[in-house]
Amino acid sequence: MTTATDHTNLSRRAFLLAAGAAAGSLTLGFGTKPAAANGAANYAPFTTSTPEITSWIVIQPDDTTIIRVARSEMGQGALTALPMLVAEELECDWNKVKAEFAPPSENYSRKVAWRAKAQKGAPASHELVTHWGAMSTGGSRGTRDSQLYLRESGAMARTMLIEAAAKDWNVPTAECTAAASVITHTPSGRKTTYGKVAVAAAGITPPTRVTLKDPKTWRICGKSVRQINAPLKVNGSLAYGIDVRLPDMLYATIAQCPVFGGNIKSIDDAKIKTMPGVRQVARLTDSTVVVIADSFWQAKKALEALPITWDEGPNAKVTSASIAEFQIAGFAATNAGVTNQAGDALGAIDNAARKIEAEYHTPFLDHANMEPMNCTAKVADGKVEVWVSSQNGEAAHAAAAEAAGVKLEQVYVHKMHLGGGLGRRGSYNDPIHYAVLAAKRTNGRPVKLVYTREEDMSHGFYRPASRVIMRSGFDDKGTPTGVHIRIAGQSINAWHFPDRIKDNLDPAQANGFHKEDFGYAFPNLRVEVAMRNTHVPVGVWRSVNSSQNSFYKESFVDEMAHAAGKDPFEFRRGLLANAPKHKRVLEIAAERAGWGKPLPAGVFRGIAVENAYGSYQAVVAEVSVTDRGALKVLRIVNAIDCGHAVNTNIIEQQMQGSVVMAMSALLYGENRVDRGRVVDTNFDTYQLLRIDEVPVIENHIVPSFDFWGGIGEAGVPPIAPAICNAIFAATGKRIRSLPLKHHNLAKA
């Protein structure tokens, strides 16, 4: 089937192949029935074959239960965990569940939030603005913000299905129960299945009130459940954005001015117009040029050969060193915003019997998702279609409409699986914007825009570079009397959401230092943030500012413990009297790691605790460092309290992944800036952790059942400080800047 010498037919045949393999997500909008993906598909396109029972559930005659997911799937398990919340209350057979994305376009076109429609007059326990609610997937919010309406939808649908069966049998609903997609009339023992009564149930008015289960009685949730679409990830059939193939599709790749803020002065497109496969050389914006060709490789070769003269603008001389100097000046800035103030920290430190002070800093970091930025767009017949791996279906919808200059009604967004998100694919819609601009020039032919890795990493929205000075005073018994923290760094919100900045304070810059998440009780405390914004675009990077602030805070608290001559665990524990959830995970991690018990010769421990993105985590790290300075991270013991644990398998995956991502940043991560541009643009110098460096990771999932946390980001922040604190224990060297590759850990 794939042997093709006739190239006019090749793309059509290849499309059919890809569509079949992709389990249907590519066929959305084409009216084509999707083929099964190697018999393993547990993922379906938007289904309208049988009527909805609430907007979230479609049950087919064979009991196949399709549950819609508004959020995106980037490996964090939304496509599994969110349907579990529905299924738990629905009482369906989990093995019959398939998940599908709710389309962003329909989320908009249906206008009314499903609950408002379904539950008129009921107390609005959770406001949904659009039909299926927010599609934005980030901030570890997926479960926390949707659990209530998802569980309610399941309970409502269960009630409707039971009512349909009871009507059919002419018995009271109270005599009927449901379990595993089977409804039973208890007195008579009569049974029917969800699939048989689904159509009737869809016609029943949804109940206005439902009672939800006590999470302690969950049967599907709270367990270790495998990710629903894993079978498509082991045979290559899952379609990510970059895998889209459409009839007559063209390929494009992009160059943006390497210096942020610079523009194109001139291009000499005559030099490449006759290269094989080249269709167009298009300046999409003042700073952006694409080559559109018959294949990606042709587009890439041509773009590399294109003579471009840049007008690099005023930022062409900026370097990492000049940025450091600028941010250091923030330590003395008089306009810093203040958060979390108690007593008189400055006075207490001035009058302290003993004081310590330390300066820390961290560099810019790219997200480096394995799937490079890409988007496929088709602009034809007054309609715009985009295929994109986005963390935010609604933002993608809006971005496509804006780039095309059309109304939202004219846009259809195909949500593709993400080859990683990490924050990069949230609010930043650059590939959508450029793909649509390119597709406007190709007379209806779809264009797949793919960034090279170098282009992707040269134009990221980086974790901001930042610095901090922390000072602490102690009385003569070693008790802290005051702590003063001054952060000087770049604000993400200044770049993207300036209205979130009040009184010179971007609160996100102080993540982890706020009253709500800080945990430690100091009688005198002052946390200040001096905004020092650069020309480098910044963005949310898994765990956002917490990823750096936890390194600062938990390393400095360790310095304080040592200055006070106290055990780092006991010192923290003593300061967490008013923060029971911090304290609990700290104690659990210490206990499970055997804190205080002897270690093998040459092995040393460090500890850290954090509250980030909704959850509480403590970490004990064990390391060894040779005399020549070779570091080995041997073991990580995590204790995580995410409130309710919906799927312990996914939580464990996220914790394992968090350790790896945090260690990549700790050991290697930096995007240096020189001549106004990012220097590290591929994995040769932007190194990531490989398998041989991964420690033993033990995860203790200890939900406290009284809040809804989050798991996507919580795991990252305390890993680096726990390891650095262990390095201090091993070597006496305090790591105050990252990455570690610049530090010599050898014995002096």
Partner 1 sequence: MPFKLTINDKQHDVDVDPETPLLWVLRDTIGLTGTKYGCGIAQCGACTVHVNGDAQRSCQIAVKDVGEAKITTIEGLSPDSSHPIQKAWLAIDVPQCGYCQSGMIMAAAALLKEKTKPTSKDIDERITNLCRCGTYTRVRAAILEAAKQA
**Tokens matching residue 372:** 């490079």
Residue 656 touching partner 1 (CB under 8 A): yes
User: Which of 453, 535, 566, 734 lies at the binding interface for partner 1 (CB under 8 A)?
Assistant: 453
Residue 242 touching partner 1 (CB under 8 A): yes
Helices (H) and strands (E) in the chain, counts: 20, 27
Nearer to partner 1, 391 or 511 (CB): 391
Residue 361 touching partner 1 (CB under 8 A): no
Residue 231 touching partner 1 (CB under 8 A): yes
Residue 547 touching partner 1 (CB under 8 A): no
Nearer to partner 1, 370 or 746 (CB): 370
Task: Pick the stretch among 32-40, 114-122, 345-353, 727-735 that binds partner 1 (CB under 8 A).
Answer: 32-40
Task: Pick the stretch among 260-268, 591-599, 621-629, 658-666 that binds partner 1 (CB under 8 A).
Answer: 658-666
Q: For tokens 């993105």, what's the residue? A: 613
Task: Pick the stretch among 129-137, 296-304, 393-401, 622-630 that binds partner 1 (CB under 8 A).
Answer: 296-304
User: Which class for 29: exposed (0-12), middle (13-18), buried (19 or more C-beta within 10 A)?
Assistant: middle
Least distance (Å) between residue 731 CB and partner 1 = 24
Nearer to partner 1, 235 or 626 (CB): 235
Residue 660 touching partner 1 (CB under 8 A): yes
Nearer to partner 1, 257 or 368 (CB): 368
Least distance (Å) between residue 275 CB and partner 1 = 10
Contacts of 370 (CB under 8 A, 6+ apart): 419, 420
What letter does residue 243 receive in the DSSP assignment? Answer: G
Nearer to partner 1, 243 or 641 (CB): 243
Half-sphere exposure of 451 (CA within 13 A, CB side): 26
Cα separation, 295 vs 303, in Å, equals: 12
x-or-dash string of contact with partner 1, 406-445, rule CB under 8 A: -----------xxxxxx-----------------------
User: Which of 66, 165, 183, 239 lies at the binding interface for partner 1 (CB under 8 A)?
Assistant: 239
Least distance (Å) between residue 682 CB and partner 1 = 6
Least distance (Å) between residue 6 CB and partner 1 = 10
Residue 368 touching partner 1 (CB under 8 A): yes
Exposure string for 584-609, b = 16+ CB within 10 A, e = fewer: bbbbbbbebbebeeeeeeebbbbbbb
Least distance (Å) between residue 13 CB and partner 1 = 8
Residue 74 touching partner 1 (CB under 8 A): yes
Cα separation, 203 vs 164, in Å, equals: 9
User: Which of 263, 410, 479, 653 lies at the binding interface for partner 1 (CB under 8 A)?
Assistant: 653
Instruction: Tell me how many degrees the CA angle 85-198-88 measures, rounded to the nearest 5.
Output: 15
Residue 7 touching partner 1 (CB under 8 A): yes
DSSP states of 720-748: HHHHHHHHHHHHS----BS-GGG---S--
Instruction: Tell me how many degrees the CA angle 18-138-78 measures, rounded to the nearest 5.
Output: 50
User: Which class for 614: exposed (0-12), middle (13-18), buried (19 or more C-beta within 10 A)?
Assistant: buried
Residue 66 touching partner 1 (CB under 8 A): no
What letter does residue 465 receive in the DSSP assignment? Answer: P
Residue 226 touching partner 1 (CB under 8 A): yes
* DSSP-derived pairing of the beta strands 65-69 and 97-101: parallel
Nearer to partner 1, 6 or 503 (CB): 6
Least distance (Å) between residue 271 CB and partner 1 = 18
Task: Pick the stretch among 428-436, 479-487, 525-533, 659-667 that binds partner 1 (CB under 8 A).
Answer: 659-667
Residue 76 touching partner 1 (CB under 8 A): yes
Task: Pick the stretch among 153-161, 265-273, 626-634, 651-659 that binds partner 1 (CB under 8 A).
Answer: 651-659
Give Dmax over CA atoms of the chain in angstroms: 86
Residue 461 touching partner 1 (CB under 8 A): no
Q: Looking only at residues 37 through 56 of this chain, which bind partner 1 when binding is defined by CB under 8 A? A: 38-40
User: Which of 233, 265, 515, 675 lies at the binding interface for partner 1 (CB under 8 A)?
Assistant: 233
Residue 667 touching partner 1 (CB under 8 A): no
Residue 222 touching partner 1 (CB under 8 A): no
Reduce the secondary structure of 546-599 to three states and give it as a string.
HHHHHHHHHHHHHHHHHHCCCCHHHHHHHHCCCCHHHHHHHHHHHHHHCCCCCC
Q: How many residues sit in the footprint of partner 1 (CB under 8 A)?
A: 75
Residue 276 touching partner 1 (CB under 8 A): yes
Q: Which of 106, 93, 94, 165 is nearest to 133 (CA)?
A: 106
CB under 8 Å, gap of 24 or more: what pairs does 219-223 form? 219/88, 220/84, 220/87, 220/88, 220/94, 221/84, 221/85, 221/88, 221/644, 221/646, 221/647, 222/644, 222/645, 222/646, 222/648, 223/647, 223/648
For residue 428, the SS3 value is coil
Beta strands in 389-524 (DSSP E): 411-415, 447-450, 466-474, 480-489
User: Which of 21, 92, 221, 621 lies at the binding interface for partner 1 (CB under 8 A)?
Assistant: 21
Nearer to partner 1, 39 or 382 (CB): 39
Residue 372 touching partner 1 (CB under 8 A): yes
Task: Pick the stretch among 5-13, 205-213, 429-437, 724-732 that binds partner 1 (CB under 8 A).
Answer: 5-13
Cα Rg for the chain, rounded, in angstroms?
28
User: Which class for 653: exposed (0-12), middle (13-18), buried (19 or more C-beta within 10 A)?
Assistant: middle
Task: Pick the stretch among 102-110, 512-520, 655-663, 740-748 that binds partner 1 (CB under 8 A).
Answer: 655-663
Least distance (Å) between residue 71 CB and partner 1 = 14
Least distance (Å) between residue 276 CB and partner 1 = 6
Task: Pick the stretch among 43-51, 151-159, 332-340, 366-374 that binds partner 1 (CB under 8 A).
Answer: 366-374
DSSP states of 111-175: -S-HHHHHSTTS--SS--SSTT------TT-HHHHHHHHHHHHHHHHHHHHHHHHHHHHTS-GGG
Q: Looking only at residues 249 through 268 of this chain, which bind partner 1 when binding is defined by CB under 8 A? A: 251
CA distance readout (Å), 537 to 137, 366, 427: 21, 11, 13
Q: For tokens 């932007």, what's the residue? A: 686
Least distance (Å) between residue 689 CB and partner 1 = 7
Distance between start and end Cα atoms, the chain:
66
Exposure string for 547-580, b = 16+ CB within 10 A, e = fewer: bbbbbbbbbbbbbbbbbbebbbbebbbbbbeebe
Residue 499 touching partner 1 (CB under 8 A): no
Cα separation, 564 vs 117, in Å, equals: 61
Residue 240 touching partner 1 (CB under 8 A): yes
Q: What are the beta bridge partners of residue 526?
A: 341, 484
Task: Pick the stretch among 1-9, 46-54, 376-384, 729-737 that binds partner 1 (CB under 8 A).
Answer: 1-9
Cα separation, 215 vs 222, in Å, equals: 8
Least distance (Å) between residue 60 CB and partner 1 = 24
Nearer to partner 1, 377 or 557 (CB): 377
Residue 292 touching partner 1 (CB under 8 A): no
Cα separation, 99 vs 68, in Å, equals: 6
Least distance (Å) between residue 67 CB and partner 1 = 19
Least distance (Å) between residue 229 CB and partner 1 = 8
Nearer to partner 1, 72 or 362 (CB): 72
Q: Looking only at residues 669 through 708 of this chain, which bind partner 1 when binding is defined by CB under 8 A? A: 682-684, 688-692, 694, 697
